[in-house]
């Protein structure tokens, strides 16, 4: 154990230093109203029966991307998408770019670009008496992603 490297505590990424951009039909928004975001890529794993073996084998067979987040209720970008969709039946795909870079960390910058994004529900209107501020939950799917910048451990 003495020869194993140990992570430097300064290399833990501080969440508030992230950036989030959304691009819809060529228009790029700095989506700084986001306060939380998480995306996941779920691999479909199929069971493979194998003659002469008691246990099942497993094989990956595609994947599915989902994203979710929370934002301050102070923008109409997604409500405009919903409005256009309910009036025309057209819902454009969009991109979500998330970058994490903490200047106090030595690991550098990581960026994920989510492509083929859609929202799966929309908050149209809301209020809550007595609240300091309003927020909204956002969620959807994406079809693919790229990793143009990645963290590097020494």
Q: In Å, how far are 32, 141, 143, 144 from 45, measured between CA atoms?
A: 36, 19, 17, 18
Work out the number of other CB atoms within 10 angstroms of the CB of residue 10: 11
Q: Cα–Cα distance between 141 and 120 in angstroms, integer? A: 7
pTM: 0.88
Model confidence pLDDT, tens digit, residues 80-127: 999 999 999 999 999 999 998 888 888 888 999 999 999 999 999 999
C-alpha to C-alpha distance for 54 and 50, rounded to whole angstroms: 8
Q: What is the pLDDT of residues 31-64, one digit of tens each?
A: 989 999 999 999 999 999 999 999 999 999 999 9
Q: Quick count: other Cβ atoms within 10 Å of Cβ 114?
A: 24
pLDDT for the residue 120: 95
């Amino acid at each position: 154990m003495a020869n194993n490297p140990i992570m430097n505590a300064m290399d833990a990424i501080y969440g508030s230093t992230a950036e989030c951009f959304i691009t819809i039909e060529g228009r790029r928004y700095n989506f700084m109203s986001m306060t939380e975001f998480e995306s996941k890529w779920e691999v479909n794993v199929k069971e493979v029966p194998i003659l002469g073996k008691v246990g099942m084998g497993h094989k990956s067979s595609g994947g599915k991307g989902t994203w979710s987040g929370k934002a301050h209720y102070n923008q109409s970008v997604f409500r405009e998408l919903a409005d256009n969709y309910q009036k025309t039946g057209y819902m454009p795909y969009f991109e979500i770019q998330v970058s994490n870079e903490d200047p106090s960390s030595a690991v550098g910058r990581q960026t994920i670009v989510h492509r083929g994004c859609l929202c799966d529900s929309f908050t149209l209107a809301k209020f809550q008496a007595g609240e300091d501020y309003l927020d909204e939950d956002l969620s959807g799917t994406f079809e693919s992603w790229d990793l143009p910048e990645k963290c590097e451990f020494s």
